[in-house]
Chain A
Amino acid sequence: MTRRSRAGLLIVVAVAGLAGVGILLASSSGAPPRPIRAERLLGRTRPSTMVDFSLVLRIDQRQVDRAEAELYNPASPQYHRFIDARTFGRRFGISDRQLARLRGLLSRDGVQISSEYPQRTAIDVAAPAGVVDRLFGIRLMNYVSRAGRVFHAPLGVPVVPPRLSGSVTTVAGLSGRFAPRADDVAGGGLSPSTARTAYHISPLYQQGIRGQGERIALISFAQFSQSDLDGFAQQYSLPRFTPVNISSPQDGPAQDTSQDGIGEADLDVEVVHAIAPEAQILNYNAPQVTAGGTDSFGPLLDKIVADGKANIVSDSYGVCELTFPSADVLRDEHAIDSAVLHGINVFKSTGDSGAYQCQRTDSSDTRLSVEWPASSAGVIAVGGTTLSTTATGDYAGESAWEGTITQTGGGGGVSALVPRPGWQRAPGVINQFSNGRRQLPDVSASANPFFGWSTYRNGSLQPTGGTSAASPFMAASMALIEQYARQHGINRLGFVAPMLYQIASTPQKLPPFHDVTVGNNRYYPASTGWDFATGLGSPDVYNLAQDVVDYLQAHPSQ
Chain B
Amino acid sequence: MSASGSSPTAPSGWDPHIRPLHFRGVHVHHHLRGQTRGRLRGHLVLVTFVVALSVSVGIGAVVVALVAPGSAPLCQPYTPCGPATSGMGLVSQTVWRSSQYGFTVEYPGSALSASQQSGSGLVLDLQAGGSGGTIVVLGAPAAEASPAKAITSELTKLSGVSQLAADTSQADRLLGPGVGYRSGVGGVYTGFGDASQGVGGEQTIYAESATDGRVTITVLAIAPANDAGPKSAIAQAADLVINSVRWS
Residues on A lying within 8 angstroms of B by beta carbon are 1, 6, 187, 354-356, 363-364, 366, 386, 388-391, 394-397, 399, 402-408, 426-428, 449-451, 504-511, 514-515, 518-520, 522-523, 528-529
Q: A390-B88, A404-B242, A520-B181 are in contact. Are A509 and B74 (CB under 8 A)?
A: yes
Residues on B with beta carbons closer than 8 Å to the beta carbon of A403:
235-236, 239
Residues on A with beta carbons closer than 8 Å to the beta carbon of B243:
386, 399, 402, 519
Residue pair B6, A396 in contact (C-beta under 8 Å)? no
Q: A6-B1, A402-B176, A405-B174 are in contact. Are A187 and B236 (CB under 8 A)?
A: yes
Interface flags, B174-201, vs A, CB<8A=1, else 0: 1111100100001000000000000000
| Chain B residues numbered 230-248 whose CB sits less than 8 Å from any CB in chain A | 232, 235-236, 238-240, 242-243
- B26-34, B35-43, B79-87: which lies at the interface: B79-87
Residues on B with beta carbons closer than 8 Å to the beta carbon of A397:
85-88
Q: How large, as a class, is the contact surface on chain B?
A: 35 or more
Residue pair A507, B238 in contact (C-beta under 8 Å)? no
Residue pair B181, A519 in contact (C-beta under 8 Å)? yes
Contact among A356, A406, A427 for B239, CB-based, below 8 A: A406
Chain A interface, DSSP helix/strand/loop, else mixed? loop
Residue pair B176, A520 in contact (C-beta under 8 Å)? yes
Residues on B lying within 8 angstroms of A by beta carbon are 1, 3-4, 6, 69-70, 72, 74-78, 81-82, 85-91, 108, 169-178, 181, 186, 206, 208, 221, 232, 235-236, 238-240, 242-243
What are the 10 tightest A-B residue pairs by CB atom distance, in nearest-first order?
Answer: A507-B74, A363-B171, A403-B239, A522-B176, A364-B170, A396-B88, A364-B171, A405-B235, A529-B78, A511-B81
Residues on A with beta carbons closer than 8 Å to the beta carbon of B178:
404, 520
Residue pair B78, A354 in contact (C-beta under 8 Å)? no
Complex-state Cα separation, A354 to B238, whole angstroms: 17
Residues on B with beta carbons closer than 8 Å to the beta carbon of A356:
175
Residues on A with beta carbons closer than 8 Å to the beta carbon of B78:
427-428, 504, 515, 528-529
Residue pair A450, B176 in contact (C-beta under 8 Å)? no
Nearest residue (CB) in B for A509 is B69
Residues on A with beta carbons closer than 8 Å to the beta carbon of B169:
364
Residues on B with beta carbons closer than 8 Å to the beta carbon of A391:
91
**Residue of B75, B89, B170 contacting most chain A CB atoms (<10 Å):** B75
Residue pair A405, B238 in contact (C-beta under 8 Å)? yes
Residue pair B175, A390 in contact (C-beta under 8 Å)? no
Instruction: Determine how close the nearest CB of chain B comes to the CB of A231; give it in whole angstroms.
Output: 23
Instruction: Determine how close the nearest CB of chain B comes to the CB of A457; give it in whole angstroms.
Output: 17
Q: A507-B3, A507-B6 are in contact. Are A396 and B85 (CB under 8 A)?
A: yes
Nearest residue (CB) in B for A408 is B239
